[in-house]
Amino acid sequence: MIIVFKENIFYSQKNIYFWFLTFSGFLFAVSLLVLLGAANDLSESSTELKQLKVAMPVLEDFVATQKIDVRLNKNQRRLKSGDIPKLVDGAIIPVNTDEAVNRTFQFFSEFENKRSASLLAVELPTVESIELGSPAEAAGIKPGDLILSVNSTKIESALGFYLALNEKTSSDVNVKLLRNKKDSFTVVMRMPDRTSITGSNCGIKFILPGDVIYLTEVETRRLAEQYRRDILSTIPVDWRAEVSNDLMQIARRLNAIAKNVIDPTGVNPVKLQTKDIVVWHSKKVAENIDIYFSQRRKIEARNVSYMTGIGDAFVGFVCSVFIFAVALVIFWYQRRESGKKS
């Protein structure tokens, strides 16, 4: 009876060692899976953080929030997102920040000048002001002068003056003026560097209604500098190039609208101004940057949680390895002792 009792104890201990080894192996497998799962969560979250970007505004978003009436195919209707021409991929070439800003306002200038073309056609070419250092100032043109002709071409409107300069460019331009409604005479505008004189660089600004805009080269550069100073400087440095390139593409597409949508024979220009787009774009960029940082903080907080989980899982894994090793040694020792007794 005593021998049998000891054998039962022996076999009972053998089962305990076996189940201890099995449990420790299960614990090892679970801790390994938990560790790998935590590492995978951290990897996915880190990838999400790397791919997180500031969403750039698109012109369609602006059009969707505005009530812009245009004339398309001689029919007046509301401007739709589908009216905006797309740029082919080859046309979207990022440039440095300064170049992007300069091109942006060149496109905006072209759009504004086309937008106001119909009203420029009915406004007399009466000089309002002269830009300092311009060919017009050097020629002696003064505010209040009425332009009668350009190189023998009769001028009847502000638009006619710009067209006369832009269609037949020259470094010397003869301009016939009427001063004080009685004295008519001719002056010559010359570019110091012998480049061609155009409506944008001649330095003449006409008396126009408030909603009519014609931007000269000087005004275009001034607006670009104002944008750099007042808006671009408020944007974090890391995004300035991307933001300025995005605005450049919007300006480029807007200029395409001027070609396809604006009816030059219409009485009123399209109710769409570049200053509204610049303000909208800057606000959207600021909002999207705030959203970016909000999402980034959430992901970073999640990463901290995942790293804490990995630390806990690693501790559990090390403990499970130790327990499994102890169980394996005990089981091996028990098997060896069992072999000796047998």
Q: Are residues 217 and 306 in the same domain?
A: no
Do 291 and 305 sit in the same domain of this protein? no
SS3 assignment for 302-320 = HHHHHHHHHHHHHHHHHHH
Residues 27, 73 within the same domain: no
Question: Residue 190 pairs with which residues in a beta bridge?
Answer: 172
Residue 179 lies in a domain: yes
Q: Supply the DSSP symbol for 197.
A: B
77 inside domain: yes
> Do both 273 and 314 map to the same domain?
no
Q: Are residues 168 and 77 in the same domain?
A: yes
What's the pLDDT tens digit per position in 84-117?
767 665 566 788 999 999 999 999 888 888 777 7
260 shares its domain with 119:
yes
Tokens 């460019």 sit on residue? 169
- Note down the domain range covering 336: 2-51+300-341
Q: What's the angle, vertex CA 312, arms to CA 306 and CA 317, rounded to 5? A: 120
Q: Of 295, 311, 332, which residue constitutes the final position of a domain?
A: 295
What mean pLDDT value characterizes the chain?
Answer: 80
Judgement on whether residues 73 and 194 belong to the same structural domain of the protein: yes
Contact 190, 135 (CB under 8 A): yes
pLDDT digits (tens, 9 = 90+) for 2-41: 444 444 444 455 567 677 777 777 888 888 888 888 889 8
Residue 62 lies in a domain: no
Task: Report the domain count for the chain.
Answer: 2
Specify if 323 maps to a domain. yes
Q: Domain ends where: 260, 279, 295?
A: 295
Q: Is residue 61 part of a domain?
A: no
Please check whether residue 77 is in contact with residue 266, taking contact to mean a CB–CB distance below 8 angstroms: no
On whether residue 58 sits in a domain, the answer given is no
